[in-house]
Structure 1
Amino acid sequence: MPRFSVIVPAYKVQAYLHECLESVLSQSFEDLELIAVDDCSPDGCGAVIDEFAARDRRVVAVHLPGNAGLGPARNAGLARATGDYVLFLDGDDTFVPGALQAVADRLKETGSPDLLVYDYARVYWSGEAVRHEFRAHLSEAGPAPFPLTDRPGLLKVLMVVWNKAYKREFLEREGFAFPPGFYEDTPWTYPALMAAESIATLDRVCVHYRQRRTGSILRTTSHRHFDLFEQYERVFAFIDARPELARWRAVLFRRMADHFTSVFSARGRLPRGTRADFFRRARRHYRRFRTPGATPKFTTRLRHALVRLGSHRAYRAIMAARALKKRAGQGVSTAARAVRGALLQLHYRVQRCLPLREDRAVFAAYWNRGYACSPAAVEERVRELAPHVRTAWVCGPEHFHTVPPATRRVRPGSAAYWTALARSKYLVNNVNFDRRLVKRRGQLLIQTHHGTPLKHMGLDLQYRPAAARDMDFARLLRAIDQWDAVVSANRHSSLVWERVYPAAYRTLEFGSPRNDVFQRATAADVARLRETLGIPEGHTAILYAPTHRDYVRPQPHLVDLERLLRALGPRFVILARPHPTHGSPFPVTDSPRVIDVSDHPSVERLCLASDALLTDYSSLMFDYAVLDRPIVVHAEDWAAYDAARGTYFDVRAFPPGAVARTEDELIDIFATGHWRGSRSAQLRAAFRARFCPYDDGYAAERVVRHLFLGEDLAALPPVVPMEDRRPAPSLGGPGAALFPAPR
């Protein structure tokens, strides 16, 4: 008897079925049977199911003689289920990696309840993934299992069959079966929740619910949407047969009325000429099943009252009026924004006519996302070495907390923002300022960039359409013409910047200011950071930071972090850090040894807290090398990345450490200790010598002394030799004992 029986009905989903079945069979939890039901699909679904059944003994292929519909197809799978628990998955949806292991663990933790409800995410055809709005009801806080009376909010979660695991004994005891017709989930899920004596929740995305552009049953124009009325009749018949469930009648009455109005209002569901009939039937059901006790908000009560009166014309008129009011409000808002924008630009013009403030500097980084990177390092040194210069930082209010108290916070697009851009002598950024910036005579615009380039940048992207997308190269050239100075980390960067950003600025090879902290931080600083992140004492922390792929959506997840942890051993943790433009987080994992640091404001502090870096083609490897700690490069899709984005050298030929070309090689590198071996240390030393010659902890000071204080280049602090540098120490456990790089 397997632990799980996973039932997958299939009808006209041949394009998605292979991915669906593979997502089940590739789960790390293998104690399952997969019952795939071909609902007499006219496409290749049956052949796909037979192919999987031939290759994996866990697959049970069921072929129905005629098209029966989704409900009867699931019943056919139920009749063959032998598992302790039954799970459902539609043929165009998928389980996320590790989902079944998480379900099994939660069932064990909660004493094998009748029902386990878990989370899902809608995945749109564009690749965007969105969790549902009522996920707070799936919190695992509090006692579990519990009856529905303890958590009635679960009735607000989408009433679908595939976000739950059902104890098979419970289903057989209650005699549950799916009815025919559309909306077959309704008379199954409500009764299951009400009848379950014990329920548990799992606050984890286990299913990716595909939102297809076309082909969805519920988006099909059909008279079968009238099946909804019969489905709710079945729900109330279930309640009427069990007097102890009468308490739920008012709640379900409201849910029914909401469901009727949502189907009536949805475009393209009801055939032309049937809307009045649908509304009349909704009125009859409203009057038939009306139950006092539901107290929705005013707008909902208004909709329900119109259903009760059966006035579909009034309903449509009011809904149209509300939509018109909303559009009118949007138009007014658009006009107001246009007027405000025009006034701000007038304000900017006026401010540009006023004298420059020689003692003012304005900073920004990463498109105003907060206090970070080299501009932050320079701003800090300005306050220390040039206290007569008053500094301001541009960022959104949600990032104000990252800015030091002594620094003025400026909201992008505000009057203060345009005043700062017009009147400040010094403008510092690691990207470009607003495209409407007009640099005045006497202003100094300092470009720090944000990393050493491995991938193609600037004008080189003219020949990389997958990466450039809609980049306006003419606007880019206008922006770089305003740069006065570019801070470069090394000679490689200088050669690249001057070619791909051709303009009359000065290149200053001072090192990367954001890396100063690696030389200045102490062991106490590192220990404090590790404690803040929750890294257990004596454990080794691996920072996993992959780069962004411009050419693919959603972003691929090429490393199974849980598998990697099994190879590393119990005294390792992984700090998981997706790229800021990654678009989606890493797959959710319940492992306490995977620490999600995607929202941490400072990647430099994450580097300090970690003991080694695992990356692919991220420029973070150039910065991390300053710490002289192990770096492992996972280059599984190098050919695709190099072809689509373009690179300035083959990192596999000149790496900062061990290189893995597959996940198996990656596991082997860590399992054998090669990641911190003498050969890796030699590679890192050569890499540091080439790309970190000036990163001695004084890069920001050189920028401030030369550009803010006017000191000659010869008077600047000399570069500390590599052998005399003492980067912040690694504080990992015994497993992180590092081989020092050869001197």
Structure 2
Amino acid sequence: MTKISVIVPVYNVEELLPKCLDSLVNQAFDDYEVIVVNDGSPDNSQKIIDEYYKKYPNIIKPLKKENGGLSSARNYGLKYATGEYVLYVDSDDYVSSDILEKMYSLGMRDNSDIVVCRSYAFSNNNLEKIDNEILNNDVFKRYILNRPSATCKLIKKEILLHSELAFFEGHYYEDIAEVPAFCLYAKNISFIDDYLYYYLVREGSIMHNKKYSDKLNDIFDSIDNLTNIFINKNAFDEYKDELEFIYIKHLLHAASLRFLPYEEGLPSINKVCEIMKEMFPNWSKNKYYKKMGFKYKIVCSLIYKRKFNLLKKILKVN
């Protein structure tokens, strides 16, 4: 058994893949594998993978599969992972040379099931720290409250093998569906204050698309799946405040703003409002929401009151 398995799903990233793999094969750590899953990529990604495998046969473990999406590739890679811990890295991102060493050392020191690091966001040569973390003295609640990304987390493989935590295949927002629930199976979670992961903000992603996509509606299935996991583990009441804030942050605020520019998206915003009314009718009293900024609260309030035209004017949305 190796100490860490790094799983890298690959699809149409031939220009960015070398930087990602370079950062992974040059780690200050000596007991790990990098499982590179070609998810049916039609570009030259496989050629690049083959070149790295030839240079680093003791590190790179190449896999191929038919295209099934990010979640499918992650689940596939996990089947072949031999590490005690797993780190997911997206193939258009890259990591610091000491990410494995620092996260594993902390995990061993604290006997952690999950270790979380901080990250940078980069685009067009701009680099900025992702610093919107909401603090909580309870590490489990702190974990749930913050960025629901499978990346930036070193996770015990035995946690990921629980069937209900398999990544939600064929959907966007897959991380929202599963990642917060990892804590339900963890006995200890550690946070490292170092910025060790570099996350690419892609203008071409569905989140920045100029055309409406029905895939935006995947948020409803994902957040429903998350809720069901907590209910099935009898943990909904214990984490009700945190789940309520996830609904506010990712459904009422973020998802609604993605729907807002499109006429086709307005029925989906209405659906968001109905869900909030049914699930969390007193959401505006949420203790984490109260800590958010004035503009954030105005946006949420106008969305919930369905003042879409006024909100568009304020945000200057066409």
**Which bracket does the TM-score occupy, shorter chain normalised?**
0.7 to 0.9
Determine the structure 1 residue equivalent to 2:152: 163
Q: Offset at 1:14?
A: 0.7
The partner residue of 1:203 within 193, 196, 199 is 193
Using the alignment, how far apart are the partners of 2:132 and 2:266 within structure 1? 32
> In the alignment, which residue of structure 2 is the partner of 1:215?
204
Aligned equivalent of 2:16: 16
Do 1:225 and 1:270's aligned partners in 2 also have CA atoms closer than 8 Å?
A: no
- Which residue in the other structure is 1:63 paired with? 64
User: Does residue 101 of structure 1 match 2:86?
Assistant: no
1:182 aligns with 2:172: yes
- Contact 1:236/1:249 (8 A) holds in 2: no
In the alignment, the residues of structure 2 paired with residue 71 and residue 173 of structure 1 have an alpha-carbon distance, to the nearest angstrom, of 15
Any conservation in 2 of the 1:120–1:205 contact (CA below 8 Å)? yes
Could you tell me which residue of structure 1 aligns to residue 110 of structure 2? 110
TM superposition shift of 1:156:
3.7
Equivalent runs, 1:234-273 vs 2, <5 Å? 234-260=225-251, 261-266=253-258, 272-273=262-263
CA distance in 2, matches of 1:150, 1:56: 37
What is the distance in 2 between the residues matched to 1:291 and 1:203? 35
Name the structure 1 match of 2:269.
279
Q: 1:240 to 1:72 in 2, by over 3 A?
A: same
- The share of aligned pairs that are identical, in percent, is 24
> CA separation in 1, counterparts of 2:235 and 2:247?
20
Cα distance between partner residues in 2 of 1:191 and 1:47 = 36
Q: 1:12 to 1:135 in 2, by over 3 A?
A: same
- The one-letter code of the counterpart of 1:205 is Y
Could you tell me how far 1:271 is from its partner in structure 2? 7.8
Following TM superposition, by how much is the alpha carbon of 1:206 offset from its aligned partner in structure 2, in angstroms?
A: 1.2
Letter in 1 for 2:132: F
* Contact persistence 2:107–2:113 (CA under 8 A): no
| Matched residue, 1:226 | 217
CA contact (8 A) 2:140 2:189 kept: no
The RMSD of aligned alpha carbons is 2.5
Note the C-alpha offset of 1:250.
Answer: 3.0
8 A contact 2:6–2:87 mirrored in 1: yes
1:128 alignment partner in structure 2: 126
> Matched residues in 1 for 2:260 and 2:44: separation?
30
DSSP 3-state at the match of 2:190? strand
| 1:266-291 superposed Cα distances (whole Å, 9 cap, x missing partner) | 4xx67843121211221232234226
Look up the equivalent residue of 2:44 and give its one-letter code. G
- CA–CA distance in 2 between the matches of 1:182 and 1:173? 21
Q: How many residues align?
A: 305
Identify if the C-alpha distance between structure 1 residues 155 and 175 changes in structure 2 by more than 3 Å, giving closer, same or farther: closer
CA distance in 2, matches of 1:304, 1:134: 17
**Per-residue displacement from partner, 1:93-131 (whole Å, max 9, x unpaired)?**
0111222111122112212x1111111111221x23211
Q: Deviations over 1:170-199 (max 9, x none)?
A: 222565210021111101211013442210
| Map 1:259-338 → 2, pairs under 5 A | 259-260=250-251, 261-266=253-258, 272-290=262-280, 292=282, 294-295=286-287, 296-297=289-290, 303-304=299-300, 306-308=302-304, 311=306, 314=307, 316-323=308-315
- Give distance in 2, aligned partners of 1:62 and 1:184: 22
Q: Evaluate the alpha carbon distance shift between residue 135 and residue 251 of structure 1 in structure 2; reply closer, same or farther with a 3 A threshold.
A: closer
Partner Cα separation in structure 1 for residue 46 and residue 14 of structure 2: 9
CA contact 1:223–1:270 (8 Å) conserved in 2: no
Q: Which of the residues 191, 212, 218 maps onto 2:181? A: 191
Offset of residue 48 of structure 1: 1.4
Aligned counterparts of 1:205 and 1:300: Cα–Cα separation in 2: 26
* Corresponding residue of 1:153: 142
SS at match of 1:107: helix
Answer 1 or 2: higher relative contact order, Cα 8 Å, separation at least 6. Answer: 2
Paired residues of 1:24 and 1:95 also in contact (CA < 8 A): yes
Amino acid at match of 2:192: L
**1:300 shift after superposition:** 5.3
**Partners of 1:161 and 1:50 in 2: CA distance:** 26
User: What amino acid does structure 1 have at the position aligned with 2:190?
Assistant: A
State whether residues 84 and 168 of structure 1, in contact with CA within 8 Å, keep that contact through their aligned partners in structure 2: yes
Aligned to 1:385: none
The structure having more radius of gyration, on CA atoms, is 1
Distance in 2, Cα, partners of 1:319 & 1:244: 36
- In structure 2, runs of 5+ residues without a counterpart are none
The amino acid across from 2:21 in the alignment is L
**What letter matches 2:10 in structure 1?**
A
How far off is 1:136 after superposition? Answer: 7.9
8 Å CA contact 1:249–1:291 kept in 2: the answer is: no
Once the two structures are superposed, what CA deviation does each residue of 1:505-553 show, in whole Å capped at 9, x if it has no partner? Answer: xxxxxxxxxxxxxxxxxxxxxxxxxxxxxxxxxxxxxxxxxxxxxxxxx
Is 2:26 the partner of 1:37? no
Q: How is 1:269-668 mapped onto 2 (pairs within 5 angstroms)? A: 272-290=262-280, 292=282, 294-295=286-287, 296-297=289-290, 303-304=299-300, 306-308=302-304, 311=306, 314=307, 316-323=308-315
CA gap 1:17/1:150 in 2 versus in 1, 3 angstroms: closer
Partner SS state of residue 255, structure 1:
helix
C-alpha deviation, 1:47, in angstroms: 1.7
The range that moved more, 13-22 or 286-295, is 286-295
Q: Does 1:5 align with 2:15?
A: no
Q: Which amino acid aligns with 1:49?
A: I
Q: Please list every run of at least 4 consecutive aligned residues from structure 1 whose deviation after the TM superposition is greater than 6 angstroms.
A: none
Following TM superposition, by how much is the alpha carbon of 1:251 offset from its aligned partner in structure 2, in angstroms?
2.3
Deviations 1:342-397 (A, max 9, x none): xxxxxxxxxxxxxxxxxxxxxxxxxxxxxxxxxxxxxxxxxxxxxxxxxxxxxxxx
Over 3 Å counting, the alpha-carbon distance change for 1:182 and 1:251 in structure 2 is same
Q: 1:136 to 1:248 in 2, by over 3 A?
A: closer
Contact 1:250 1:291 in 2 (8 A): no
Question: Structure 1: which amino acid aligns with 2:230?
Answer: I
Q: Structure 2: which amino acid aligns with 1:11?
A: Y
Counterpart residue identity of residue 179, structure 1: F
Q: Are the counterparts in 2 of residues 223 and 271 from structure 1 also a CA contact under 8 Å?
A: no
CA separation in 2, counterparts of 1:252 and 1:291? 13
| Cα displacement (A) at 1:299 | 6.0
In structure 1, the gaps of 5 or more residues are 139-147, 325-743
Whether the 8 Å CA contact 2:260–2:266 is kept in 1: the answer is no
Cα deviation for residue 305 of structure 1 reads: 5.1
CA distances 1:400-424 after superposition (whole Å, capped 9, x unpaired)? xxxxxxxxxxxxxxxxxxxxxxxxx
Once the two structures are superposed, what CA deviation does each residue of 1:67-88 show, in whole Å capped at 9, x if it has no partner? 2111111101111111000000
CA shift at 1:265, angstroms? Answer: 1.9
Contact 1:194 1:245 (8 Å CA) reproduced: no
What amino acid does structure 2 have at the position aligned with 1:26? Answer: N
Higher strand share: 2
- What TM-score do you get using the length of structure 1 for normalisation? 0.39
1:250 is paired with a residue whose SS is helix
Give the TM-score of the pair, scaled to structure 2.
Answer: 0.87
Secondary structure of the 2:16 match is: helix
